[in-house]
Amino acid sequence: MIVMDSVSRWYGQVIGVNDVSYQIGPGVTALLGMNGAGKSTLMRLITGQVRPTTGSITVFGEEPFANPGVFERVGYCPEIDNFYEYMSGREFVYTMARMNGMNDATAKARAGEMMERVNMGHALDRKIAGYSKGMRQRVKLAQAMVHNPDVILLDEPLNGLDPVGRREFMGYLGEFSAQGKTIIVSSHILFEVEQMTRSIMLLNRGRLLAAGDVRTIREYLDRYPHRIRIETPQPRELASRLIALPYVLKVDLDEWSQAIELQTRELNQFYEVLPQLVLNENIPIRGVTSPDNNLESIFKYLIEA
């Protein structure tokens, strides 16, 4: 559906996207990276606002730059917080609907429907200038969805949304995904992404650092030690047993909170052995967690690698 082949994009001397090759299909894909990683540039390339400096990008088999055929099937919720402030939310979404080729009656109906859908029914005819940040985010989302696109790109969509709004937004993503749409979401907040999808593209300084399922990315990391935290009332005893295992590289004792944190390269083997060891030695375990079990750690690993 979206095919990037060695895409690079320079802004003068600054590189926005550097030699990215990847294909994005239906479902939710997250563009993950810090500010300046190239997420927004990649979105601009996909939405045909800019051209690649080198390489190629196609959406539904066509080059997207200034291509109305592609825009008919793409909805874009930009990161910017700029609007035609003198318009009401409904008027803005209606205008965007008209620009998507709908006639007056359809656009009116659809604009109202989408505003209701993003819970803006109470402020349909208020000027956008008077909207809160969260309301503005919702209006942006409504205009991106108003023409029922096949591909939806959402650039930092959770900015400014309160917890309720975030939960609702996650719900929308789930709905779109279930409809077979392609959704691309960018974020620099890792726990947010984890809640949205397992399919990620990890960008850093314009480069695609890793891509695919979070679990697949984890496999890239096998040569890096994984950290495991075990809570137990007998941390010294457990530490002495575990350090004897050949694939346990290091054990840190945290007696104050009654826990140990160890590092291992063989995660699967460790988890196979741990229950038996605990049962044999009769050491109670209160909890096992992995500090690496989030995208932030993976991101850190990959950048440092």
Partner 1 sequence: MATFLFTHALRDYLRPKRVVTWVALAIALFAVGKVFMLSSTDTTPAEAYQLLSGLIVFRLLALMSAIFATAIVSQEVEQKTIVYLLTRPIPRWQMLLSRWLAAAVAVGGIAVIAVLANALSTLGGFSPAVARDLLAIVTGAFAYTALFLLVSLLLNRAMVVCLIFAFGWESAVPSMQGELYLLTINSHLNVIAERAAGDAQGVMSALAGTAKKIPLATWQAWLALAGIVTVCTMFNLSWFSKNEYVPREDGE
Rank residues 77 and 158 by Cβ distance to partner 1 and give the closer one. Answer: 77
Does residue 48 interact with partner 1 by CB under 8 A?
A: yes
Does residue 12 interact with partner 1 by CB under 8 A?
A: yes
Which amino acid is it at 153? L
Binding mask 157-196 for partner 1 (x = CB under 8 A): ----------------------------------------
Binding mask 123-162 for partner 1 (x = CB under 8 A): --------------------x-------------------
Does residue 51 interact with partner 1 by CB under 8 A?
A: yes
Sheet hosting strand 2-11, strand order edge to edge: 14-24, 2-11, 54-59
Query: Could you identify the residue written with the tokens 């052995």?
Result: 273
Query: Could you identify the residue written with the tokens 């900015």?
Result: 159
Does residue 18 interact with partner 1 by CB under 8 A?
A: no
**List 18, 29, 100, 137, residue binding partner 1 (CB under 8 A):** 100
| Kind of pairing between the strands at 207-213 and 54-59 | unpaired
Helix or strand or coil: residue 180? coil
Burial readout 194-217 (b: 16 or more C-beta within 10 A, e: otherwise):
bebbbbbbbbbebbbbbbbebeeb
Does residue 76 interact with partner 1 by CB under 8 A?
A: yes
- Is the alpha carbon torsion for 221, 40, 46, 174 positive or negative? positive
User: For binding to partner 1 (CB under 8 A), which residues are involved?
Assistant: 11-12, 14, 40, 44, 47-51, 66, 68-69, 71-72, 74, 76, 78, 80, 82-84, 86, 95-96, 98-101, 143
